[in-house]
Amino acid sequence: MSENSLAKFLLSRRGLLLAGGLAAGPGLAADSAAGLVRSPLEAANEALVTQFCLDWAFRDIEKLIPYLADNLVYQMFEKRPDLIGLAEFRREVGPFLNDLARVEWDILRTFSIGQVVINERVDHFIAKPGGRSMHFPIAGLFVVKDGKIVLWRDYSLPGGKNRMEIEKPEAG
């Protein structure tokens, strides 16, 4: 594979996940087998990302902003253009959150290597009555620098079952 082909592969979403998984897998297995612990930086980054994910339950964009760097790059899902910066994040995500009845993210597992945090989650976006609820199994990739999330990309899990349903209107 030429250097240019390798660079294009690693920059693709699948290439990034595959390369990250191949690099992380043996290291994570060896660390747990050897009884090694996370560094203080890794523990802090995992805690930051975990709390950020849990705080989506508030459905309040202003509670999420403090976790994010001014120059955030966020891709909501594959094939969607990146949101760049806090203004775009607010403009896209704020109204979405306001239209929901509840948000629940089940964090199944989390790994970190330095400034990179990867989590496996099931995201539940529960609509108001008559609206469309969505449930997505997700692999989230976060890069944390200086205590702020600078890069965040969510990926569908192969074989995962996305679910959408219409919430029943309130009786009345």
- pLDDT tens digits for the chain (172 residues)? 455 544 454 455 555 544 455 445 555 544 554 566 889 999 999 999 999 999 999 999 999 999 999 999 999 888 899 999 999 999 999 999 999 999 999 999 999 999 999 999 999 999 999 999 999 999 999 999 999 999 999 999 887 788 888 877 776 6
Per annotation, catalytic residue among 60, 70, 123, 146: 123
Residue 124 to residues 15, 24, 167: CA-CA distances in angstroms?
Answer: 27, 27, 13
Give catalytic status of residue 106 as yes or no: no
154 is catalytic: yes
pLDDT tens by residue, 70-80: 999 999 888 89
**142 falls within a domain:** yes
In this structure, is residue 133 part of a structural domain? yes
Question: Do residues 58 and 141 share a domain?
Answer: yes
Whether 49 maps to a domain, the answer reads: yes
**Does residue 26 fall inside a structural domain?**
yes
Of the candidates 31, 70, 82, 154, the residue annotated as catalytic is 154
Whether 79 and 29 map to the same domain: the answer is no
Residue 14: how many CB atoms within 10 A of its CB? 11
Residue 172 in any domain: the answer is no
How many domains does the chain contain in total?
2
The reported pTM is 0.77
Residue 64, SS3 per DSSP: helix
Q: Are residues 137 and 153 in the same domain?
A: yes
